[in-house]
Structure 1
Amino acid sequence: MRYASSVPLLFSEVSSPLKDQVNSASRQMVARSLLDTLKEVSDDERDCIAVLERISRLADDSEPTVRAELMEQVPHIAMFCQENRPSIPYAFSKYLLPIVVRYLADQNNQVRKTSQAALLVLLEQELIERYDVETKVCPVLIDLTAPDSNDDVKTEAVAIMCKMASMVGKDITERLVLPRFCEMCCDCRMFHVRKVCAANFGDICSVVGQQATEEMLLPRFFQLCSDNVWGVRKACAECFMAVSCATSQEVRRTKLSTLFINLISDPSRWVRQAAFQSLGPFISTFANPSSSGQYFKEEDGKNTEDCGSTQENSEQVRTTEDVTTEEEHNRTEDLSSHVDGDDLATKLENAMEDQNTVSNNSQRESDYQTESSFHCTLSSESCGEMADENEESSHCCTTGLQEAGLNSQEASLSEQELYNSFHFWRTPLPEIDIDFELQQTSDIKLDREIQELTMPVSPSIPMATRKELEEMIENLEPHIDDPDVKAQVEVLSAALRASSLDPQEETMASISKGTDSQTELTINDQQSFKPILGDIVPLIGDTVESMDSTLHYIHNDSDLSTNSSFSPEEERKSKVQDVVPQALLDQYLSMTDPSRAQTVDTEIAKHCAYSLPGVALTLGRQNWHCLKDTYETLASDMQWKVRRTLAFSIHELAVILGDQLTAGDLVPVFNGFLKDLDEVRIGVLKHLHDFLKLLHVDKRREYLYQLQEFLVTDNSRNWRFRAELAEQLILLLDLYSARDIYDYLRPIAFSLCADKVSSVRWISYKLVSEMVKKLYMASTSTFVVDLMNELVEKFCRCHKWSGRQTFVFICQTISEDDCLPMDQFAVHLLPHLLHLASDKVPNVRVLLAKTLKQTLLEKEYFLNSANSHQEAVEQTIMALQMDEDSDVKYFASIHPASTKIADDAMSTASSTY
């Protein structure tokens, strides 16, 4: 207690204002030792209160380093107070929390960031009562984000509000945080604040739920997506999937899909890059649990229930490579990066410093930006040659926010109107000099409206027959590799299909009505956007292509006439799915276009490959034909990283597609990966069992001949490749018969047992023991006897001591894992094992002593039954106890409790690496 009584005096001394210069380091030391001081006086409530009161005085210290050090100790002190709550009730709420919230507005940057990190840790550990969050924390943050607040403080406070939303829950976030967050999204003066809001938009949406997202947040999100600053739009693109998951399917289709197309067509390359990276995840949010989820139900016995669970499934498919891909580049993140517990202060500090850097570098950018109002750009720009990312002034706003479909009155817009934006965002096609005509039937309203859509664009188009259309398509097909030619063929094909619609089908009446209401809007849109696209609008391409995609989106293929001259294969490829908006899928399929690598991102093909299983899961196996060509293109990509990404996920894709499509479309790709670089082969090797188990038995047996090839690598020092092979062979034992195991897998296992690297050998011992178990359980017992005889010949009688040591390791593993009954073990392996007691190499005898003492003598067969084998083991141990080598004597005489053979395997003298 003497120490406790001196505590107030010590604090009084170090807090004296007359000794600021002399004792600043001492005060910092006192702050660092606060927790230890509290622990010393924890038995006396009065002393604890005295220390806490001195902490409040220390918080007023003029030295920033002292205040920062104090704040670093607050989470630890709070945890101590929580654990000792009976003796010091309300200590944290009364003494510590006011200091934390006060430091949030401190003038020193380091103190502010330390307090922010401390606040997040306290919230994460649930050390702050709900009442205190509402009455003490949130009001301070609201004040710090007021319009007249300091710019830096406001930006940091917004970031804290966003991060704490997931910790405080929906109720507090919706009542206290959401209104101010919506205001900050429209901060006209500081784009840094809007950027933080955009970066954390998905987190807020996931907390407040669907209703609040659609009613309050979505209008703000549309504004941020059309912000004048490209960094804000980029942040929106990065969080688009999270926002989509918080909305209904209807909103996702009618509003978000059109908005996302604008981001893909953004003038800034960085925005387009982020949008294309989010395209696959965004498409995965369209998954229908009743269709895509069934594939997981077949495998796992469970189905998806909602958008969230569907996204988890697709994320599971897409992230297969995460475990082993080490080449992923690190992207610079702003305040949207999540802060972990232990290194919270460091991460938050780095984030704040990055934000300050952006603020300084972008000051000139904010000088000339007109930010008084925010509008949503529906589709006002061409995606041909985009302006440089710094030319932000060209990002004009052409359509108001309410035109984006945010008003409830416009929620009933037809799907044709909402997706008839194809000609706004795609690269303009060159003019083609052709004769063109749509079949005219007086009683078909659709044909008349197609003419009305076509004539305003080019009123002097000559008429052509269907035969001429087909001839033009045939003439262009040899040059289909040219993107421009391919686009022309698509336009002509669309026109040909549109002209072949059956006029007698009853469903056409409803199509005509929908198209009639759309005609005026479409023509007006074309006229209003002609100055933007210039005079190179194709004669018929845009209108008919848009019309065709609209028709295909509404109807399935049974609505089309079968009189087309296309072959069945061409018809199959021309089908359009109805799971996701076709415009999104078209953009996703275009990610393999070589021009995208030049205009968007050099690794765009890798991002396409990364999200392909998720997209395939969303579309379902019935729409695999939409992705097949893209998958084959990616599988033959020149970049090995693209092929590696596919290799790591091919087993998941096989689950989605089923055995028939897997055998037809994935097996050839799989075979190609087997002959690829080691960086690609490791992908298929890590999931070799998962893929082969999905194949038919006959097809599966074909790969027995190729397993030997995995022993050969580009670099012999790549021992992890062989270790993975051993791991997979253990799993493959369940897929093959006893004869196949003995004929094909046994030679590979023996080769791995003699590997130069001990890690590979140790896994191989497990492989051989499991092989013995599998063969013993087979109906034909000759295989296991032959295997054990070969073990004796190849290893026990090996002229190299490492081979004889391998035999001891294998025997120990077989015995320890009960892979063979002890009576069979005693007959076939034990005599040869005991013979090694006279081996001339001490390492072999040491290992033998460990095996006999720690493994065999613990088995019931050698403990309770008096037999000749037990006597032989005991005699061998006695001989080893008198061995001339001290280590052999040691392990044969005692039973070291801390030394197990498995622990010692990696440190034996035979280890190479």
Structure 2
Amino acid sequence: SPGLSLYFEDGHDDLDDFGFDDYGSECDGIRITAFLDAGQDNLTPLGRLEKYAFSENVFNRQIVARGLLDVLREFSDNENDFISVMETVARMSEDGEPTVRAELMEQVPNIAMFLHENRPNFPEAFSRYLVPIVVRYLTDPNNQVRKTSQAALLVLLEQGLMSKADMEGRVCPVLLELTEPSSDDDYKIEAVAIMCKLVTMLTKDTVEHLLLLRFCELCSDVRLFQVRKVCAANFGEFCSIVGQEATEKLLMPKFFDLCSDSLWGIRKACAECFMVVSNCTSPEVRRTKLSPLFINLISDQSRWVRQAAFQSLGRFISTFANPSITGLNFYLTGPPSHHPEGNSSTQPKEDGISLGQPKHSAPLSRQQMDDCTVFNSFNFWRSPLPDITQDLQLLQEEERDEVIEKQDETMRDTEGEGKEDVPSLDAQGPATSSQIQKVLDCLQPHLDDPDVQGDLQKERILLLPFSTYGHSSSFSCFPNSHSLLSQNVIPQQLLDQYLSMTDPARAQTVDTEIAKHCAFSLPGVALTLGRQNWHCLKDTYETLATDVQWKVRRTLAFSIHELAVILGDQLTAADLVPIFNCFLKDLDEVRIGVLKHLYDFLKLLHADKRREYLYQLQEFMVTDNSRNWRFRYELAEQLILIIELYSHNDVYDYLRQIALNLCSDKVSEVRWISYKLVVEILQKLYACEAHDLGLNFINELIMRFCHCSKWVGRQAFAFICQAIVEEDCMPMDQFALHLLPSLLSLSSDPVPNVRVLVAKALRQSVLEKRSAYSDELEEALSELRMDKDRDVQFFSTMDPNRNVMDTSALI
């Protein structure tokens, strides 16, 4: 048939004379199904498939294996031919050449999908012909073939192409056989890895009945540390699947053993999965058993283990959250841990804090949720510290009275819980936030110089009076002032260790970016503790907010709006607003975190406090690098949202001028989003019936854009007019009276790009509503339909169902 014609790069078309055997590696340009064509040998297509599938030339067999999906498509209409091809595939799987077997296995997932979508009347074909090949290749002597088979198996499971019966009856038995104590080491390590990857795709029953006991045995494999390490790295997945009862009864003893393994890499893996394991246990086990175990890891002799434990600390603390209060009914995830080889880490996205939408989540069981409701009945599980609370309370009350006296009238009028415990940032210590910020601004240009890092650390200690932690070389738990602050949500030792993450000594001996991990997880910890315990975190938050590392401040800036939701309006006004103000004056890398969520933060403030920021919005127009156009683009997007938070007078007085300046930006992306901002402002004015202000704004748009000497300004005016009509943001008679005459004047503009948008705007006007200017509209459109520019012609006669706002071709 024509569809099976042979194409050679040199023009030859006789396969019998030239064939694959004579072309070798040059056959890459030949269609895979070329060998099916009838030739001088008088073989049928199936006969030719047989010939080349079992040719003495290895390359021919590789080509056939690589093109099996195309071959199946050619024979998919004939049941008998289809079965013959599948039987040929089964025979090819026994090829003695590893590269042929690997090529065949790479095609298995594609063939399986083809069978699933196009051969529903042959549901047994995949199970009968392909599953045996996948299973057999798991024990193939060639490493490449085994790896290809393992990858194919994962794809088949992810796509839901393998049945439960095949998994339980064929795949799992092979994995169990390969993980026997007497199994070959390489096979065993690979089988454990594939078993752990498969577990998340299997049902709970399958895991419990077939794999759980073997996994427990593998956790105690004395001979192969690689096996124990794989088990430790995937321990959380097993716990998540089997649930609380099996976790506490069978898996917890193994977890304790792995946490005390002689190899630091295994203990590190345990620290990294600690949060997931914790979520699969009861509150009692979490407090009495896992907390002391975690303290051991955070005090481990290996720096890498301590590092992983501190990075997981905030996430582990979050498992103590009460779902009935926080709504935290899923597993939290956090930033990836450091990799020891190279002492580097992959940092998280700053605007993702594991709150609300976790990257990987799994629901807590009803039993776990019920058990969580008794959190607050707990009274510290460790031996109590000496009782000096009365003395400390007296001291705190004296300091608090002094702070309260200095607060302004607004702070004194603040009502609600926590008011007396939340003095402003400027009231803390000898250095005010503005003083600290000025010093940081001076220090910032030198942060990349390794010679000044030591001096910066000293400067940081002198500046920040909030850090009150001592240093213990043994990393044991040490008391500090925070130990005596009242909270009964989480074990106090965990909180103490978390608060110590801002101690410069931790950065020196554990992880240079430990403060960033502390900042990353702080909203989750705050959510767990609740706003009534914010006093436990307040000083730590202020310390992080003034850290010399801009990455730390940037992390907080990206999450400050989330923290505001957690704390509520009163604590936000008292404790977050001063820090928010500092972030506004920080480096662009920090300011962008505030800017991206500016609307989210401002909408949480009271109207009077929110209005104060109108004066500062103009400052976002100034950046450290003028080429950072995305900063201005983000500002325009946020202003579109912010418009609803302010009165029409404030919008006109403060946001209008910013919008007009953005409309003149050098970068087209910024200009186009700014035009939409202008339309939103105009809509706000007319929605509030501020017609005088609206008319003033329209006249300003006409002067600035319609009469602009640059064609981009005139094009902008046409786009704004089109958007005004489409969004229906002002009465049509007002549009016809104040804007349409100016728009019509541009219909003869010398620049085609301007006329294109004029055509779109006029066409939109006709589509929306006819007005008193209908005759002028039709006349202008008639002229534009005869324009010498083909794009102008097209848009003046375009289908009304097309997207008239599409301007991508004009940018």
Say yes or no: TM over 0.5.
yes
Shift of 1:533: 10
Q: 1:667 aligns with which of 547, 567, 577?
A: 577
Aligned counterpart, 2:774: 870
Structure 1 residue 744 and structure 2 residue 647: aligned? no
Seen in structure 2, the aligned counterparts of structure 1 residues 229 and 106 have a Cα distance that, compared at 3 Å, is same
> Which amino acid in 2 is paired with 1:77?
I
CA distance in 2: counterparts of 1:641 and 1:683, whole angstroms = 11
Alignment of 1:17-96 (within 5 A): 20=56, 23-96=57-130
Aligned counterpart, 2:725: 815
Q: 1:612 aligns with which of 504, 522, 534?
A: 522
Aligned counterpart, 1:517: none
CA distance in 1: counterparts of 2:792 and 2:503, whole angstroms = 71
Shift of 1:195: 0.6
After the TM superposition, which of the residue ranges 717-726 and 70-79 deviates more from structure 2?
70-79
> Which amino acid in 2 is paired with 1:844?
V
Aligned counterpart, 1:296: none
Structure 1 residue 184 and structure 2 residue 184: aligned? no
Q: 2:568 aligns with which of 626, 634, 658?
A: 658
CA distance in 2: counterparts of 1:779 and 1:59, whole angstroms = 77
Shift of 1:795: 1.4
Q: 2:545 aligns with which of 620, 632, 635?
A: 635
CA distance in 2: counterparts of 1:40 and 1:649, whole angstroms = 56
> Which amino acid in 2 is paired with 1:599?
T
- Give the length in aligned residue pairs: 670
Q: 1:886 aligns with which of 756, 781, 789?
A: 789
Q: 2:268 aligns with which of 222, 225, 234?
A: 234
Seen in structure 2, the aligned counterparts of structure 1 residues 6 and 821 have a Cα distance that, compared at 3 Å, is farther
Shift of 1:11: 4.5
CA distance in 1: counterparts of 2:785 and 2:678, whole angstroms = 30
Aligned-residue identity in percent: 62
Shift of 1:802: 2.0
Structure 1 residue 699 and structure 2 residue 609: aligned? yes
Alignment of 1:746-761 (within 5 A): 746-761=656-671
> Which amino acid in 1 is paired with 2:669?
S
Aligned counterpart, 1:856: 765
Seen in structure 2, the aligned counterparts of structure 1 residues 821 and 897 have a Cα distance that, compared at 3 Å, is closer
Structure 1 residue 135 and structure 2 residue 45: aligned? no
SS of structure 2 residue aligned to 1:29 = helix
CA distance in 2: counterparts of 1:100 and 1:664, whole angstroms = 63
> Which amino acid in 2 is paired with 1:903?
D
> Which amino acid in 2 is paired with 1:649?
S
After the TM superposition, which of the residue ranges 38-47 and 577-586 deviates more from structure 2?
38-47
Alignment of 1:353-392 (within 5 A): none
Aligned counterpart, 2:28: none
Alignment of 1:763-774 (within 5 A): 763-774=673-684
Q: 2:505 aligns with which of 583, 595, 607?
A: 595
CA distance in 1: counterparts of 2:792 and 2:155, whole angstroms = 55
Shift of 1:8: 4.3
Seen in structure 2, the aligned counterparts of structure 1 residues 683 and 331 have a Cα distance that, compared at 3 Å, is closer
CA distance in 2: counterparts of 1:179 and 1:198, whole angstroms = 15
Seen in structure 2, the aligned counterparts of structure 1 residues 601 and 573 have a Cα distance that, compared at 3 Å, is closer
CA distance in 1: counterparts of 2:201 and 2:261, whole angstroms = 29
Seen in structure 2, the aligned counterparts of structure 1 residues 789 and 121 have a Cα distance that, compared at 3 Å, is same
Aligned counterpart, 2:372: none
Deviations 1:163-220 (A, max 9, x none): 1112111000010011111111000001101111111111111111111111111110
CA distance in 1: counterparts of 2:122 and 2:50, whole angstroms = 22
Contact in 2 for aligned 1:881/1:893 (Cα 8 Å) = yes
CA distance in 2: counterparts of 1:277 and 1:131, whole angstroms = 41
Deviations 1:102-159 (A, max 9, x none): 1111111111111001111111122112111111111000001111112121111111
Seen in structure 2, the aligned counterparts of structure 1 residues 163 and 889 have a Cα distance that, compared at 3 Å, is closer
Seen in structure 2, the aligned counterparts of structure 1 residues 761 and 604 have a Cα distance that, compared at 3 Å, is same
Seen in structure 2, the aligned counterparts of structure 1 residues 331 and 823 have a Cα distance that, compared at 3 Å, is closer
Q: Could you state the TM-score of these two structures normalised by the residue count of structure 1? A: 0.69
CA distance in 2: counterparts of 1:437 and 1:595, whole angstroms = 27
Seen in structure 2, the aligned counterparts of structure 1 residues 660 and 708 have a Cα distance that, compared at 3 Å, is same
Deviations 1:366-393 (A, max 9, x none): xxxxxxxxxxxxxxxxxxxxxxxxxxxx
Seen in structure 2, the aligned counterparts of structure 1 residues 486 and 835 have a Cα distance that, compared at 3 Å, is closer
SS of structure 2 residue aligned to 1:419 = coil
Structure 1 residue 281 and structure 2 residue 281: aligned? no
> Which amino acid in 2 is paired with 1:876?
A
Q: 1:708 aligns with which of 571, 596, 618?
A: 618
Contact in 2 for aligned 1:651/1:691 (Cα 8 Å) = yes
Shift of 1:83: 3.0
Contact in 2 for aligned 1:881/1:888 (Cα 8 Å) = no
Aligned counterpart, 2:557: 647
Aligned counterpart, 1:778: 688
CA distance in 2: counterparts of 1:872 and 1:184, whole angstroms = 84
Q: 1:788 aligns with which of 691, 698, 706?
A: 698
Shift of 1:233: 0.8
CA distance in 1: counterparts of 2:672 and 2:128, whole angstroms = 59
Structure 1 residue 6 and structure 2 residue 6: aligned? no
Q: 1:419 aligns with which of 360, 376, 382?
A: 382
SS of structure 1 residue aligned to 2:806 = helix
Shift of 1:645: 0.3
Shift of 1:607: 0.4
Aligned counterpart, 1:826: 736
Alignment of 1:337-356 (within 5 A): none
> Which amino acid in 2 is paired with 1:594?
P
Shift of 1:781: 2.5
Contact in 2 for aligned 1:210/1:246 (Cα 8 Å) = yes
Seen in structure 2, the aligned counterparts of structure 1 residues 8 and 835 have a Cα distance that, compared at 3 Å, is closer
Aligned counterpart, 1:836: 746
Deviations 1:836-860 (A, max 9, x none): 123343332232123223x22211x
Structure 1 stretches of 4+ with a deviation exceeding 6 A read: 1-5, 414-417, 436-439, 477-483, 485-491, 896-899
Q: Which has the higher contact order (CA 8 A, sep 6+)?
A: 1
Seen in structure 2, the aligned counterparts of structure 1 residues 737 and 42 have a Cα distance that, compared at 3 Å, is same
CA distance in 2: counterparts of 1:583 and 1:269, whole angstroms = 20
After the TM superposition, which of the residue ranges 807-816 and 619-628 deviates more from structure 2?
807-816
Aligned counterpart, 1:721: 631
Seen in structure 2, the aligned counterparts of structure 1 residues 759 and 95 have a Cα distance that, compared at 3 Å, is same
CA distance in 2: counterparts of 1:176 and 1:184, whole angstroms = 14
Shift of 1:12: 3.5
> Which amino acid in 2 is paired with 1:249?
P
Seen in structure 2, the aligned counterparts of structure 1 residues 703 and 233 have a Cα distance that, compared at 3 Å, is same
SS of structure 1 residue aligned to 2:557 = helix
Contact in 1 for aligned 2:467/2:540 (Cα 8 Å) = no
Q: Could you state the TM-score of these two structures normalised by the residue count of structure 2? A: 0.77
Shift of 1:782: 1.7
Shift of 1:418: 5.2
After the TM superposition, which of the residue ranges 34-43 and 669-678 deviates more from structure 2?
34-43
Provide the aligned C-alpha RMSD in A: 3.4
Contact in 2 for aligned 1:8/1:54 (Cα 8 Å) = no
Aligned counterpart, 1:895: 798
Contact in 2 for aligned 1:877/1:892 (Cα 8 Å) = no
CA distance in 2: counterparts of 1:79 and 1:226, whole angstroms = 45
Deviations 1:403-442 (A, max 9, x none): xxxxxxxxxxx9889534999xxxxxxxxxxxx9999xxx
Shift of 1:226: 0.6
Shift of 1:711: 0.5
Contact in 1 for aligned 2:466/2:539 (Cα 8 Å) = no
Contact in 2 for aligned 1:845/1:888 (Cα 8 Å) = no
Aligned counterpart, 1:561: none
SS of structure 2 residue aligned to 1:81 = helix
Seen in structure 2, the aligned counterparts of structure 1 residues 590 and 706 have a Cα distance that, compared at 3 Å, is same
> Which amino acid in 1 is paired with 2:135?
V
Deviations 1:243-279 (A, max 9, x none): 1111111111011111111111111111111111100
Structure 1 residue 578 and structure 2 residue 488: aligned? yes
> Which amino acid in 2 is paired with 1:790?
E
Shift of 1:593: 0.6
Seen in structure 2, the aligned counterparts of structure 1 residues 849 and 83 have a Cα distance that, compared at 3 Å, is closer
Aligned counterpart, 2:300: 266
